[in-house]
A and B are shown apart, each in its own frame.
Chain A
Amino acid sequence: MTETSPVFLLDRATRKLRDAIFVDDVPPELVSQVQSAWSPHFAGSTAEHGHWDWNKKYELVEQAPLVYRVFGIVVDEEMQGLMLVSTAGKNCRETSQNGKPLVYIEYLATAPWNSADIVAEPRFSGVGKIFIRAAIELSLEEEFGGRIGLHSLPQAETWYRDVCGMTDLGADTKYQGLHYFEMTPQQIEAFMRG
């Protein structure tokens, strides 16, 4: 069931915070609208997430609604980012947490107008930080201790490693050679402290 919470994003032009709405369980009709709204902005771009079809990704939710969830962040009735997570079937690889369950971020993307690989001056900042926090909060709710994992697209590796403080577990040959990242309890604590 769709649930919303108040959050904020930074308007980069005015440097002021804007009220935003965090949406848990984005409905399929909204995902479809987002796909239509975002696609034209990706035309001709080489952004690594530019070819993602969110309608296709939503099929995972329809097939296994208890495992997959889609989160979104809305400002001015426009979706500013989407994240698809799974809460089953993935376990920690990091040595100290090996085998423990985690929330796995299947896909995370900002709207094209918020992405520096599409526009020179992105409109809003903060989408990534809110989504990572949401994944951690979901992991805590699921009693997974806040543990999360993801495969980063190449251009985002620095952000996950240096800004979010996640552990880079190296290239995963089963996932197109993408680097796999996890957050341990100590790193979660640091991230949640801010």
Chain B
Amino acid sequence: MKMKMTKDWFLKNIDREDKAIVSAGTFCVSQLQKKQQPVEHMTHSAFAMLVSLSRRKKGLTPEKLSDMARIDLDELVSIEKISGYVPEPRTVCQLALILNLPEDKLLQLSGNAKARDQWLQNQAVKFAARAQSMEKLNREEKSALEEFVKKLSESP
């Protein structure tokens, strides 16, 4: 096939692509966990709490976060409330983007990606044990959240 593109056409709105991410296609399957596989309970609890506390720390209602992340409210509520619920990979990536959390770690915690190190599991268990589900972040929860997010960013 011969392309019929002219220079004029290309120049017309090339600036609109500047720095845009343009990738299309599915996530790498070998990096993802089969959804049917059970998710380690404490790891998943840590994921649900991390999403919930990060949302509350930013002062976002579930509705607002679902709007900002362009995800279904049902799915967000399921993440926070239903034990063992495994969201779609896209949902996890959108949450990572809006909540400023590392995407690859979040995919692991959510049960979407294969857990690659025991270190993350251990940190997740510690975090899940510390954090409590309350309407407003208390000092202990805030401290637990900040420490866990810091560790996620520092991890090997």
- A156–B27 Cα distance when bound, in Å, is 13
Query: Which residues of chain A come closer than 8 Å to B70, judged between CB atoms?
Result: 157
Q: Is the interface of A mostly helix, strand, loop or mixed?
A: mixed
Query: Which residues of chain A come closer than 8 Å to B21, judged between CB atoms?
Result: 115-117, 153, 155-156, 159
Asked if B4 and A160 sit within 8 Å, CB to CB, the answer is no
Q: Residue B12 at the A interface, CB < 8 A?
A: yes
Q: Residue B121 at the A interface, CB < 8 A?
A: no
- A130–B5 Cα distance when bound, in Å, is 8
Q: Residue B67 at the A interface, CB < 8 A?
A: no
Per-residue interface assignment for chain B, residues 134 to 152, with 1 indicating a CB less than 8 Å from any chain A CB and 0 otherwise: 0000000000000000000
Chain B residue with minimal CB distance to A162?
A: B16
Asked if B103 and A46 sit within 8 Å, CB to CB, the answer is yes
Asked if B24 and A129 sit within 8 Å, CB to CB, the answer is no
Q: Tally of A-B residue pairs with Cβ under 8 A?
A: 152
Q: Residue A49 at the B interface, CB < 8 A?
A: yes
Q: Residue B97 at the A interface, CB < 8 A?
A: yes
Query: Which residues of chain A come closer than 8 Å to B81, judged between CB atoms?
Result: none
- A181–B142 Cα distance when bound, in Å, is 39
Chain A residue with minimal CB distance to B32?
A: A176
Query: Which residues of chain B come closer than 8 Å to A49, judged between CB atoms?
Result: 23, 25
Q: Residue A107 at the B interface, CB < 8 A?
A: yes
11 A-B contacts (beta carbon < 8 Å): A3-B2, A47-B23, A115-B21, A116-B19, A129-B14, A129-B17, A130-B5, A153-B21, A153-B24, A154-B90, A156-B22
Partner-A contacts on B (CB < 8 A): 1-5, 7-14, 16-28, 30-32, 70-72, 87-91, 93-94, 97, 102-104
